[in-house]
Amino acid sequence: MTKVAVTAVERVLDIIEAFRSARRPLSLTELAELIGTPKSSCHAIVGTLVARGYLYTLSRPRALYPTRRLHDLAREILQFDPFLERALPLLEKLRDDSHETVIFGKRQANAVVYLQVVPGPHSIRYSAAPGEIKPLHSSAIGKSILGSLKDNDLGRLLDELPLPAVTGATLVDKDALLEDIVRSRKRGYYVTRGENVADVWAVAASLAINGETLAVAVAGPRHRMQASVPACANLLVATCSQLGRQAG
């Protein structure tokens, strides 16, 4: 795909996200400013989205807004997701039992993508959204995916993987990260202690479904998670085992 084509795709996504942020109809001028593109380029993309039924126009004020087409299309696509359809009830049960946010994710290139997030019941909780991208080395899901690799593959990946400090607690030394992964692999679950988001602790475990390695995490504020990591880990490992049996 050419750079021009990639840029056009990015602009479409920028437009969709602009409406999410604004939560109101936007004029063409406002859209162009929000996504940082010339008005003429924005006009061409908007024209296509209107013609395909994804945006509609208002005359007073002269503005644009998404139709339900994108929502309905996304909902129909999600009904056939190869992982989420059967996983969601178990993820919700894990949320109810742990009283914390539950995340379901997988490796995407050298990062983690969140496939589903089931928010915890507390007003103060870890908040995230499906589609978010997180580093392998600083997230609990990422560590569990690293731990699922064979030793040679893990060593090669850690030699190549950048290890930026996401927070002050992030493990940025390769040997320290490897030691943590090996120790966690032996006990069957992986923990982050403010390494991806300050004051958020998470515990994760991985499983294989249809040849894909996925992982589930329970995450919450340190003041609750610090004492409940072992209990959350037991619930988590049991949930991963159920997911694996259900898929198999």
Could you report the average pLDDT of every consecutive run of 10 residues in the chain (248 residues)? 68 92 93 92 91 89 91 85 81 97 94 94 94 95 97 95 96 97 96 96 93 94 96 96 83
Torsion 17-18-21-24 (CA) sign: negative
Question: Are 15 and 100 part of one and the same domain?
Answer: no
Question: Are 103 and 145 part of one and the same domain?
Answer: yes
Q: Model pTM?
A: 0.78
Question: Are 66 and 142 part of one and the same domain?
Answer: no
Residue 86 gets which letter from DSSP? H
Give the range of the structural domain holding residue 185, as residue numbers without chain letter: 81-247
Residue 127 gets which letter from DSSP? -
Query: Where among 28, 49, 72 does a domain terminate?
Result: 72
Comparing C-alpha atoms, which of 61, 55, 63 is closest to residue 27? 63
Torsion 193-196-197-201 (CA) sign: negative
pLDDT at position 75, please? 84
Query: Where among 53, 72, 91 does a domain terminate?
Result: 72
Q: State how many domains the chain has.
A: 2
Question: Are 135 and 33 part of one and the same domain?
Answer: no
Q: Which tokens sit at 94?
A: 């894990």
Distance CA 212, CA 105 (A): 11
**Rounded to whole angstroms, what are the CA distances from 239 to 33, 127, 183, 217, 231?**
46, 21, 21, 10, 13
Question: Are 127 and 153 part of one and the same domain?
Answer: yes
Question: Are 38 and 86 part of one and the same domain?
Answer: no
Please tell me whether residue 21 adopts helix, strand or coil conformation. helix
pLDDT at position 84, please? 76
Question: Are 89 and 49 part of one and the same domain?
Answer: no
Comparing C-alpha atoms, which of 201, 194, 209 is closest to residue 229? 201
Question: Are 126 and 20 part of one and the same domain?
Answer: no
Q: Which tokens sit at 121?
A: 């019941």
Question: Are 85 and 63 part of one and the same domain?
Answer: no
- Check which CATH number belongs to the domain holding 124 and give it: 3.30.450.40
Angle at 93 between CA 115 and CA 198, to 5 degrees: 55
- Check which CATH number belongs to the domain holding 12 and give it: 1.10.10.10
Question: Are 203 and 229 part of one and the same domain?
Answer: yes
Map tokens 């021009």 to a residue: 4
Comparing C-alpha atoms, which of 84, 146, 142, 144 is closest to residue 118? 84
pLDDT at position 226, please? 95
Distance CA 173, CA 163 (A): 7
Query: Where among 72, 98, 118 does a domain terminate?
Result: 72
Instruction: Please enumerate in sequence order all residues whose Cβ is within 8 A of that of 118, keeping only pairs 6 or more positions apart, or say none.
Output: 88, 91, 92, 94, 95, 101, 102, 103
Q: Which tokens sit at 26?
A: 């936007």
Question: Are 146 and 195 part of one and the same domain?
Answer: yes
pLDDT at position 246, please? 80
Question: Are 96 and 200 part of one and the same domain?
Answer: yes
Map tokens 């049996």 to a residue: 245
Q: Which tokens sit at 201?
A: 């602790």
205: enclosing H helix or E strand? strand 200-209
